[in-house]
A = this chain, B = another copy of it.
Amino acid sequence: MPKLWTDTVATHREEVRQAVLDAAGELVARDGLWAVSMSRLAEAAGIGRATLYKYFADVEEVLTAWHARQVSAHLTDLATMAAGAGDASARLRAVVERYAHICAQRSRHGGDVAAALHRGPGIADQHRQLQDLLTDLIQEAASAGTVRADVPAEQLAGFCLAALTAAGTASGPDVVVELVWTALTADPASAADSA
């Protein structure tokens, strides 16, 4: 059965849109966020500037859409890892490591602009989803006895998310993952002794 004309148009529009966002990702990775311009986007996406302006009003709109797509993809990845096979502790460790690398990658793209994009609508909601995902996983690991149970899972999740942003600094992701993991898995009794 032949596609309806409106479907074809909608599909084509979506393909162009995704191509522009792909181009944005490539430009950001290669030259940084500040180097992205409408001319370069059009060239990299293989369309004319006039066409590009039919899809996006300005660079900020492209970057916001690209960033939303990135965050959404990361969330899907993390949710898949969280729901995977294996014991809760191993899945938690994998999610923590992946998120640390996401933070490190984000800071390489220029912290200021990332911070600007992170104030966009929908971001608070996505942050909430991430917090919930981590809380459930920590809860599961705590029930299994591999993560400390003396601090509520939600508070441990909030700590993780804040602490892992340090992965974007000089420390790099691996060291930060170890420090966070130490805090999560410490025996509360011995931790109290050392204080």
Q: Is A85 an interface residue (CB 8 A)?
A: no
Residues of B within 8 A of A185 (CB): 191, 194-195
Closest chain B residue, CB of each to CB of A186: B182
Q: Which of B159, B161, B178 contacts A195 (CB 8 A)?
A: B178
Q: Is A181 an interface residue (CB 8 A)?
A: yes
Q: Is A155 an interface residue (CB 8 A)?
A: yes
Q: Is A180 an interface residue (CB 8 A)?
A: yes
10 contacts between A and B (CB under 8 A): A155-B171, A159-B166, A159-B171, A162-B163, A163-B163, A178-B195, A181-B191, A181-B194, A182-B186, A182-B191
Closest chain B residue, CB of each to CB of A155: B171
Assembled-state Cα–Cα distance A178/B192 (Å): 8
- Could you tell me the distance in whole angstroms from the C-beta of A89 to the nearest C-beta in chain B? 10
Q: Is A170 an interface residue (CB 8 A)?
A: yes
Beta-carbon contact of B181 and A159 below 8 Å: no
Q: For this complex, into which size category does the number of interface residues on chain A fall? A: 20 to 34
Assembled-state Cα–Cα distance A155/B165 (Å): 13
- Could you tell me the distance in whole angstroms from the C-beta of A114 to the nearest C-beta in chain B? 13
Assembled-state Cα–Cα distance A165/B168 (Å): 15
Assembled-state Cα–Cα distance A116/B89 (Å): 38
Contact with B along A143-172 (1 / 0, CB 8 A): 000000001001110110111011001110
Residues of B within 8 A of A163 (CB): 159, 162-163, 166, 179-180, 183
Q: Is A176 an interface residue (CB 8 A)?
A: yes
Beta-carbon contact of A162 and B170 below 8 Å: no
Q: Is A175 an interface residue (CB 8 A)?
A: yes
- Could you tell me the distance in whole angstroms from the C-beta of A86 to the nearest C-beta in chain B? 15
Known: A159-B166, A165-B165, A180-B183. 15 other contacts (CB 8 A): A93-B195, A115-B115, A154-B170, A155-B171, A159-B176, A162-B165, A162-B166, A162-B169, A179-B183, A181-B191, A181-B194, A181-B195, A182-B194, A186-B186, A186-B194
